[in-house]
């Protein structure tokens, strides 16, 4: 059994399966988990981790798994990336917490300045920092409500925005996120999403359909904000048809509605741009960020138009840990890694490789109904051949095969029939190709 290992990019970059997965060491620990951790906290691939980096995750039994998930798009710069480790070690030795609302420090302001520079648009921007994506979404809604003096919040079918009370209301899928947890926050309205594989509509047509719902069922004058993931995450990597986002944003601007892009999963180089909104030149009023921005430490942000951000009274935004100095140091390290290694460019290369592999796979397996995504955020949707009837059973079987053969893969989607690929941007082409060899084997073995 491997006790501990240094993680990071120096870890041997190989797939190595030396036991059943999970192995005996992990099974032992799974019993401890069962005894001490609430059952509601699930684990999808229960190998206990001792090290990770580059494109691999190493477990207590000495298995080295290819990582095609990045801990849900968090370890985009790779696990234990050098600039993250360096910054965190220096910060943790200097001070770990003062509470920015009590006595401030540079790291918080540094991250806000970076967010202002990197998010879409070159207007005057300001930011506030929080601990999690859900908290960022909640605060974006708070800001939009104060700025507009309106209550209503619009979200979309298949949306995922978090697990807190307001963000559960904003999230579309019941199981596992909402079941039994109501009553939910009020004044949240859902509009139809552009979902080209299922609705066949152009961006303009889908936007007209959504705007009709907002206009007729909610009323523009009641709407504080429209919140949308430019590419949906948990909901199935749904990429709206071209022009959809821009049309919704334009309608918001014309009606005094705050347009909020939830870039928590799609942001920070993941899709081949700094933000997914950049691809079509959409400039949101507010952007929420988290996940990839801090190389694995918990940090989230709301960034946007300075006039909107400043509409909240002093003391109205905050939290004990929001913008923790160690998390801010990590974010500055992660952003440095993204800039130095042009990780947006690397995401585009990864996207080209993945798209080619998925296209080949789809030619052999008609169960693949759709290939979609951008950059290092790509997915396939599995349906009964020639239909849009979801096939979650086959999806689960393929996923299980990948896990047993040392590849960390994630599923998603309203019907649980979408296979999503979110490799760390630090993964090598060799490992990525080997990972997709296993995915291809999994399709063949479960045919
Ligand atoms: N908005 C677009 O993707 C988090 C959730 C996993 P937190 N997605 C992964 C799970 O099962 O809990 C997410 C997201 C988008 C908001 C969030 C919420 O971010 O940091 O998990 O609160």
Best residue among 233, 300, 422 to mutate for probing ligand 1, ranked by most atoms within 8 Å of CB: 233
Task: Indicate which atom in ligand 1 lies nearest the CA of residue 265.
Answer: 3
Task: Indicate which atom in ligand 1 lies nearest the CA of residue 298.
Answer: 20
Task: Indicate which atom in ligand 1 lies nearest the CA of residue 134.
Answer: 22
Task: Please say if the pLDDT value at position 4 is more than 90.
Answer: no
Tell me how far the alpha carbon of residue 1 lies from the centroid of ligand 1, in angstroms: 33
Q: Please check whether residue 300 is in contact with residue 264, taking contact to mean a CB–CB distance below 8 angstroms.
A: yes
Residues within 6 Å of ligand 1 by CB:
72, 132-134, 137, 160-163, 229, 233-234, 262, 264-265, 290
Give the residue, by CA position, lying nearest to ligand 1 atom 19. Answer: 133
Tell me how far the alpha carbon of residue 264 lies from the centroid of ligand 1, in angstroms: 7
Tell me how far the alpha carbon of residue 163 lies from the centroid of ligand 1, in angstroms: 8
Tell me how far the alpha carbon of residue 236 lies from the centroid of ligand 1, in angstroms: 13
Best residue among 290, 301, 414, 416 to mutate for probing ligand 1, ranked by most atoms within 8 Å of CB: 290
Q: How far apart are the first and last CA of the chain?
A: 35
Task: Please say if the pLDDT value at position 48 is more than 50.
Answer: yes
What average pLDDT score do residues 103-109 get? 98
Burial category of 3 from C-beta neighbours within 10 Å (exposed 0-12, middle 13-18, buried 19 and up): exposed
Task: Indicate which atom in ligand 1 lies nearest the CA of residue 263.
Answer: 2
pLDDT of amino acid 5:
65
Q: Please check whether residue 130 is in contact with residue 302, taking contact to mean a CB–CB distance below 8 angstroms.
A: yes
Closest CA to 286 of 174, 121, 46: 121
Q: How confident is the model at residue 6 (pLDDT cuts 50, 70, 90)?
A: confident
Tell me how far the alpha carbon of residue 132 lies from the centroid of ligand 1, in angstroms: 8
Give the neighbor-by-neighbor strand order of the sheet with 377-382. Answer: 368-374, 377-382, 418-421, 410-412
Task: Please say if the pLDDT value at position 16 is more than 60.
Answer: yes
Task: Please say if the pLDDT value at position 3 is more than 70.
Answer: no
What average pLDDT score do residues 158-178 get? 98
Q: Rounded distance, CA 155 to CA 167, Å?
A: 10
pLDDT of amino acid 426:
98
Tens digit of each residue's pLDDT (9 = 90 or more) over 274-298: 999 999 999 999 999 999 999 999 9
Tell me how far the alpha carbon of residue 269 lies from the centroid of ligand 1, in angstroms: 17
Tell me how far the alpha carbon of residue 108 lies from the centroid of ligand 1, in angstroms: 22
Tens digit of each residue's pLDDT (9 = 90 or more) over 179-229: 999 999 999 999 999 999 999 999 999 999 999 999 999 999 999 999 999
Q: Please check whether residue 358 is in contact with residue 378, taking contact to mean a CB–CB distance below 8 angstroms.
A: yes
Q: Specify the 3-state DSSP secondary structure of 444.
A: helix
Give the residue, by CA position, lying nearest to ligand 1 atom 16. Answer: 161
Tell me how far the alpha carbon of residue 441 lies from the centroid of ligand 1, in angstroms: 30
Q: Rounded distance, CA 50 to CA 4, Å?
A: 6
Q: What is the mean pLDDT of the chain?
A: 97
Best residue among 228, 234, 321 to mutate for probing ligand 1, ranked by most atoms within 8 Å of CB: 234
Best residue among 44, 70, 134, 174 to mutate for probing ligand 1, ranked by most atoms within 8 Å of CB: 134
Task: Please say if the pLDDT value at position 364 is more than 70.
Answer: yes
Q: Does the reported pTM lie above 0.95?
A: yes
Give the residue, by CA position, lying nearest to ligand 1 atom 3. Answer: 265
Tens digit of each residue's pLDDT (9 = 90 or more) over 222-271: 999 999 999 999 999 999 999 999 999 999 999 999 999 999 999 999 99
What average pLDDT score do residues 5-31 get? 95
Task: Please say if the pLDDT value at position 91 is more than 70.
Answer: yes
Tell me how far the alpha carbon of residue 386 lies from the centroid of ligand 1, in angstroms: 32
Q: Rounded distance, CA 171 to CA 164, Å?
A: 10
Task: Please say if the pLDDT value at position 168 is more than 70.
Answer: yes
Task: Please say if the pLDDT value at position 396 is more than 80.
Answer: yes
Q: What is the DSSP string of 189-227?
A: EEEPPP-HHHH---HHHHHHHHHHHIIIII-GGGEEEEE
User: Would residue 323 be called left, alpha or beta, if left means φ above 0 and alpha means ψ between -120 and 50 degrees?
Assistant: left
pLDDT of amino acid 2:
44
Task: Please say if the pLDDT value at position 128 is more than 90.
Answer: yes
Task: Indicate which atom in ligand 1 lies nearest the CA of residue 177.
Answer: 11
Best residue among 133, 228, 237 to mutate for probing ligand 1, ranked by most atoms within 8 Å of CB: 133
Tell me how far the alpha carbon of residue 161 lies from the centroid of ligand 1, in angstroms: 6
Q: What is the DSSP string of 54-113?
A: TTEEEETTS-EEEESSHHHHT-TT-TT-HHHHHHHHHHHHH-S---TTTS--HHHHHHHH
What average pLDDT score do residues 338-354 get? 98
Tell me how far the alpha carbon of residue 172 lies from the centroid of ligand 1, in angstroms: 13
Q: Rounded distance, CA 271 to CA 283, Å?
A: 16
CA dihedral 160, 164, 166, 171 (to 10 degrees): 20
Best residue among 291, 297, 377 to mutate for probing ligand 1, ranked by most atoms within 8 Å of CB: 291
């Amino acid at each position: 059994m491997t006790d501990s290992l240094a993680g990071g990019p120096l870890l041997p970059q190989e797939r190595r399966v030396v036991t059943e997965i999970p192995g005996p060491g992990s099974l032992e620990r799974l019993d401890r988990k069962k005894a001490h951790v609430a059952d509601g906290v699930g684990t999808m691939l229960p190998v206990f981790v001792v090290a990770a980096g580059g494109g691999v995750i190493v477990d207590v039994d000495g298995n080295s798994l290819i990582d095609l998930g990045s801990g849900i798009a968090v370890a985009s710069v790779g696990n234990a990336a050098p600039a993250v480790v360096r910054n965190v070690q220096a910060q943790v030795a200097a001070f770990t917490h003062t509470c920015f609302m009590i006595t401030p420090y540079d790291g918080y302001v540094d991250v806000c300045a970076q967010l202002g520079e990197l998010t879409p648009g070159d207007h005057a921007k300001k930011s506030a920092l929080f601990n999690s994506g859900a908290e960022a979404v909640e605060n974006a809604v708070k800001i939009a409500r104060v700025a507009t003096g309106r209550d209503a919040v619009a979200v979309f079918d298949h949306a995922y925005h978090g697990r807190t009370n307001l963000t559960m209301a904003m999230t579309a899928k019941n199981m596992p996120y909402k079941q039994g947890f109501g009553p939910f926050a009020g004044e949240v309205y859902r509009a139809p999403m552009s979902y080209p594989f299922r609705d066949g509509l152009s961006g303009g047509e889908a936007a007209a359909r959504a705007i009709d719902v907002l206009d007729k069922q909610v009323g523009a004058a009641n709407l504080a904000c429209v919140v949308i993931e430019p590419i949906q995450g948990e909901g199935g990597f749904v990429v709206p048809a071209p022009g959809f986002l821009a049309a919704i944003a334009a309608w918001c601007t014309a009606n005094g509605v705050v347009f909020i892009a939830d870039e928590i999963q799609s942001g920070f180089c993941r899709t081949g741009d700094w933000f997914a909104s950049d691809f079509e030149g959409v400039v949101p009023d507010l952007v929420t960020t988290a996940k990839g921005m801090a190389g694995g430490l918990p940090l989230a942000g709301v960034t946007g138009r300075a006039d909107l951000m400043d509409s909240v009274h002093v003391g109205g935004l905050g939290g004990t840990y929001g913008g923790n100095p160690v998390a801010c140091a990590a974010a500055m390290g992660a952003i440095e890694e993204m800039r130095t290694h042009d990780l947006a460019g690397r995401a585009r290369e990864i996207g080209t490789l993945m798209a080619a592999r998925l296209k080949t796979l789809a030619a052999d397996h008609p169960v693949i109904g759709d290939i979609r995504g951008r950059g290092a955020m790509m997915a396939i949707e599995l349906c009964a051949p020639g239909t849009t009837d979801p096939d979650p059973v086959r999806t689960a079987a393929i996923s299980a095969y990948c896990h047993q053969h040392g590849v960390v893969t994630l599923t998603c989607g309203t019907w649980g029939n979408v296979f999503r690929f979110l490799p760390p941007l630090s993964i090598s082409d060799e490992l990525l190709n080997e990972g997709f060899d296993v995915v291809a084997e999994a399709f063949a073995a479960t045919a």
